[in-house]
Amino acid sequence: LFGHSEGGSVSALFSATYPDRVISLITFGIFAKRRYSKDYPWAPTDQERQVVYDMIENDWGSGEMNLASLAPSKVQDQTFMDWLASYFRSGASPTSALKLTRMNTQVDIIDILGSIKVPTLLLQRTDDIDVKIQEGQFISERIPGSKFLELEGSDHLFWVGDTDVILEAMKAFINDIKPAPVYEKKLFTVMVGRIISSGTNTSEHQEIIKR
């Protein structure tokens, strides 16, 4: 299972929940949180995220999108940058893109990292602007037995830059995997609900909720 950026966060959750359906996990430019906190200081602040929201709301459809942080090595290649902006616009309307970006801001997989038991390879470029190298190191330290590979470069997109190095690293990791046949421990989600009779009056209802 391979996941890039927020796709890596989703892949991590899937791997913790369904280890018997995952031979191995490989991520690139993954983050554990997308909102600044004292225990995770590399994530953007609310003010920094608002700048992104404003860009999507005002410039998504116009082509004046600021995508330099995703592919710094291609900034001088206007043809590529125009194509990249078109690629993003083709994938989502401004409204959908804004909803997705706001949802990504709520990502927080820190508490499930220790539950990932499948063989895991984390790839990250040293000078990635969009997701800091410390984020990948933080995640790797919390996934038992994971392998962290730091690569040269600053591009956040895995399909830009020295892609041959990435592919060779992935192939070497996959060829060396010895997956466990059965995983005894898995991540479970437990939901608890309470049914309240429609005949309960407001004051009784409030009292029940307080308890």
| Residue 51, amino acid | V
Tell me the whole-structure pTM to 2 decimals.
0.83
What was the pLDDT predicted at 209?
A: 45
Core vs surface per residue 102-130: b (16+ CB within 10 A) or e: eebbebbbeebbebbbbbbbbbbbeebeb
189 in a structural domain: no
200 in a structural domain: no
Q: CB under 8 Å to 105, separation ≥6 — which residues?
A: 34, 35, 49
191 in a structural domain: no
Count the Cβ atoms, other than its own, within 10 Å of residue 158: 20
Among the listed residues 33, 24, 35, the one whose alpha carbon sits nearest the alpha carbon of residue 2:
24
CB 21 within 8 A of CB 30: no
18 in a structural domain: yes
Domain assignment of residue 126, given as a range: 2-175
Query: 50-59: long-range contacts (C-beta < 8 A, 24 or more apart)?
Result: 52/101, 53/98, 53/101, 53/102, 56/94, 56/97, 56/98, 56/101, 57/94, 57/98
> What CATH number is associated with residue 150?
3.40.50.1820
Question: What is the full per-residue pLDDT of the chain (211 aa) written as tens digits?
Answer: 999 999 999 999 999 999 999 999 999 999 999 999 999 999 999 999 999 999 999 888 676 788 888 999 999 999 999 999 999 989 999 999 999 999 999 999 999 999 999 999 999 999 999 999 999 999 999 999 999 999 999 999 999 999 999 999 999 999 998 866 666 666 766 667 778 776 655 555 554 444 4
190 in a structural domain: no
140 in a structural domain: yes
72 in a structural domain: yes
What was the pLDDT predicted at 193?
A: 78
78 in a structural domain: yes
Cα–Cα–Cα angle for 129, 134, 135, rounded to 5 degrees: 80
What was the pLDDT predicted at 186?
A: 67
- CA distances to 1, 14, 23, 53, 54 from 48, rounded to whole Å, are 31, 29, 37, 9, 10
What was the pLDDT predicted at 5?
A: 95
Whole-angstrom distance, CA of residue 8 vs CA of residue 24: 13
What six digits make up the tokens of 135? 């984020």
Number of domains in the chain: 1
**Residue carrying the six token digits 């990948």:** 136
Neighbouring-strand partners of residue 147: 121
CB 100 within 8 A of CB 92: yes
What was the pLDDT predicted at 195?
A: 81
Q: CB under 8 Å to 47, separation ≥6 — which residues?
A: none
What was the pLDDT predicted at 185?
A: 67
What's the chain's Rg over C-alpha atoms?
21
